[in-house]
Amino acid sequence: MALLWKTHIPAAVTFTVIACSFSPVLAGENQQLLRDSIPATWTYESKQTTTLPSDDRWWEGFDDPVLTSLIRRGEENSFNLSMAAHRIEMARQNWELAKAAYYPNLGISAGWTKEQQSGMTGREAMKAMGADYFSLGLNFSWEIDVFGRVREQSKEGKANYNASKAEYSAAMISLCSNIATAYFNYRLAQGRVDVAKRQITSQERISKITQARYETGLASKLDVSQSLTVLYSTQATLPALNNMQTAALNSIALLIGCYPDDIRSELAGERELPNAFRMVKIGVPADMIRRRPDILEAEQQLAVYAAQAGIAKKDFLPTLSLTGSVGTSAHKINDLFSKESFTYSIAPQLSWTIFEGMARNRRLAAAKEQMLAGIDNYNLAVMNAVIETENALSAYDTSLQQIALFRKVLNESRESFTLAVDRYKRGLSAFTDVMSAQINMLEYENTLLETRASALSSLVKVYAAVAGSPIEE
């Protein structure tokens, strides 16, 4: 189902190309409305490479066969992707329909008329007269595109078709990134369940220690109660974590077009979150602009508006059409194919509406305003693309810094817990130190896990922002 989008025009000249392709509609001052001030570099360029990826299957870089399998199934079964593919075909058919106007319309007619005339219509009574009339012919009509009306309609159809292909590409990017994010959320929930279970095992051990010390008179009942409080509170998180895991699984199933039970076994096995530390091949902003389908879609939608404005301008010009027929007619069917029965007609016609209550002026003005709105939409799409990418890069960079710091924090919290337990066993500190260390260690384990998942989600957003999607004409 995948298409491939081939674009080889550098983004730095995209705006000039657009302006030229829309001439004369985007002439003069309107061309200046297409902004060309794209940043030359990214804010976080020093942290990234500047080479575009050789292929767009970025998810394979995570080296996770389950993720790769899920995205492949999504490409094959996604309803959203299927609907986008149908819209491409609809747009193609409409384009072909517009191009059909270049050709004449042909039709065949055949008829039989039997009539009788009254004999009482004159001054003297006459016998009624009847007659048969047979005809067979070929009729045609053709609007000769002297003034370019049909050509503009064809341009509109082509631009709509290209816009639908860009929409498909955007749907592909969204699908792959959403599947990856949902999958990482599933592994995050799975990891949090694992952390909770390991902490429960540790807390059960600590609870036994407090119980034994209480029975020997070395600890108070408060220590036992506090240890059980920590244990039970951790156990109470398991239902919510299991529900989080189920919700993530359901999200994946919906994205790839299946029911949850169809993929439950595939996701059942435990698997670590992939490594989030990797070089991101993003290219320079201009390269990114030409790879984003939302930019292409906005560009093609602008082309649609320009064509519609061109059509509105053609309404001020005359239309030249040619109609005619060729055939045969006779009173007797046996005479239809005789030489004397041959008939033809040809009628060129030039029509020109001089005035229609300023309606054409209003349509043209509305079309121009729509085109100007399309220019604004294109400029906004470019700006959004740059900002979106900058935000994703910033979030990814921030998450990587946090991962490094939280790993240090977690290591220290584990050390603190070990020391607190040791001191408590020797009667050198209160149980509150152990309890505090337990809670902190659980919190930091979960925080590190969530930060790793957040980094992966930010990385997915980076890939979605700059890599484009596999797309072919």
* DSSP state string for 372-397: HHHHHHHHHHHHHHHHHHHHHHHHHH
Predicted local distance difference test score (pLDDT) of residue 338: 78
Predicted local distance difference test score (pLDDT) of residue 407: 93
Q: If the chain, 473 residues long, is cut into consecutive pieces of 10 residues, what is the mean pLDDT of each piece?
A: 31 40 45 56 51 61 89 88 85 81 78 68 62 76 74 82 84 89 94 92 91 88 91 93 93 92 87 76 64 82 84 78 78 75 77 76 85 86 84 87 92 92 88 90 92 90 68 32
* Domains assigned to the chain: 11-102+147-317+357-466 (1.20.1600.10)
Predicted local distance difference test score (pLDDT) of residue 39: 66
* Residue 260: exposure state from Cβ atoms within 10 A (0-12, 13-18, ≥19): middle
How would you write 443-465 as a 3-class SS string?
Answer: HHHHHHHHHHHHHHHHHHHHHHH
φ and ψ at residue 97, rounded to 5 degrees: -65, -40
Distance CA 413, CA 447 (A): 12
Apex 455 CA angle, 450 and 460, nearest 5: 125
Residue among 452, 323, 407 at smallest CA distance from 62: 452
What is the per-residue burial (b if ≥16 Cβ within 10 Å, else e) of 370-381?
A: bbbebbebbbeb
Place of tokens 């299957």: 57
pTM: 0.75
Q: Which two tokens stand for residue 363?
A: 């349509």
E-only strand ranges, 54-187: 105-117, 129-144
Predicted local distance difference test score (pLDDT) of residue 275: 83
Q: By the 8 A CB rule, do 273 and 191 touch?
A: yes
Our separate counts of H helices and E strands in the chain read: 11, 4
Predicted local distance difference test score (pLDDT) of residue 67: 92
